[in-house]
Homo-oligomer: A and B are copies of this chain.
Amino acid sequence: MLEPRETLPSLADLRAETCARIDAMFETLLPVPDRPQARLWLAIRHATIGGGKRLRPLLVLLSGRLFGVAEEAALRAGLAVEAIHAHSLIHDDLPCMDDDDLRRGRPTVHRAFDEATALLAGDSLLALAFGVLADPETHPDAAIRSELVCSLSRAAGAAGMAGGQMIDIGTPGLTLDLAGVTQLQQLKTGALLAWSIEAGAILGRASETNRRRLALYAQCLGLIFQIADDLLDCEGEEAKAGKRVGKDEAAGKQTFVSLLGANGARHKARELLDEAVAHLAPFGADAALLAEVAEFALSRDH
């Protein structure tokens, strides 16, 4: 006789719950001290609490579920990658980078505070992320904690996200082709998304085969998200996006949309969606929500 199958929460429920729990964790982790440096903590809180889709923590949770990872462990790894994501947004928004005033519908950190405070808030969040991962509360096995730190260091640093940002800003004269734009995005936005999915596998001691499957899924997912972002940047509404739109075109940047056209980019994203789902097939129904994330990535309007 079969046991009645436990009812799984919907993706929307899980997203809402993840948002609430990550907010609560940042609250606990970031009490404002009664000291001259309080301003720094306020800036960090501005950048981390009450905003964002919390996609990366959600991915750690969903990937971890495939291997029976405890929610608490997955959420702590999710908090770490969210801290790095917030760090990258603060620094990306600075005048010497994208010079943006608006983020998630609120003033960017250097607008709400000042440039020096934003710089230090971004730095602090980067340091915080690794401390959270290495803390015994994340996982009882120190080897797993160390592996999380090593892999996130690669994903965030010069060989990962920061390298992607460098390509993005460092080649004003150079016109990237499709391979170039793909590599840029795989580093700039793909590296942290891929790490989020890898983190669940590390925490769950997944086999090499399963890690490879998830890495291929993650690669597709990152590109789907970027194509959707490019489409939103050229067609989206500022009010829904919560940030300035149309800036890629204004900056003369090559994107999937400028290289393939809006229809071509949409077609490419649908191909990638099929491929992403195919990589998940061996996990069966357990991976249904990961497949749904890829569909959501393509259909979102902000």
Contact = CB atoms under 8 A, between A and B. Distances in A.
Given A128-B153, A153-B131, A96 B123 contact: no
A-side interface mostly:
helix
A101 interface: no
Given A126-B126, A146-B134, A157-B124, A167 B37 contact: yes
Interface stretch (A111-119, A245-253, A270-278): A111-119
Interface residues of A, number: 59
A87 to B, nearest CB: 8
A167 B150 CA distance: 31
Given A115-B96, A119-B94, A119-B97, A40 B180 contact: no
A37 B163 contact: yes
Contact of A91 (B123, B132, B152, B167): B123
A158 B36 contact: no
B131 A44 contact: no
Interface in A74-125: 87, 91, 94, 96-97, 114-117, 119-124
Contacts of A143: 142
A149 B128 CA distance: 10
A87 B41 CA distance: 20
A207 interface: no
A169 B146 CA distance: 34
Interface in A132-171: 132-136, 141-143, 145-147, 149-150, 152-154, 156-158, 162-167, 169-171
A153 B128 CA distance: 6
Q: Specify which of A91, A165, A184 lies most central, judged by the most chain B CB atoms within 10 Å of its CB.
A: A165
A132 B146 CA distance: 10
A255 to B, nearest CB: 16
Q: Which of A87, A134, A147, A154 has the most CB of B within 10 A?
A: A134
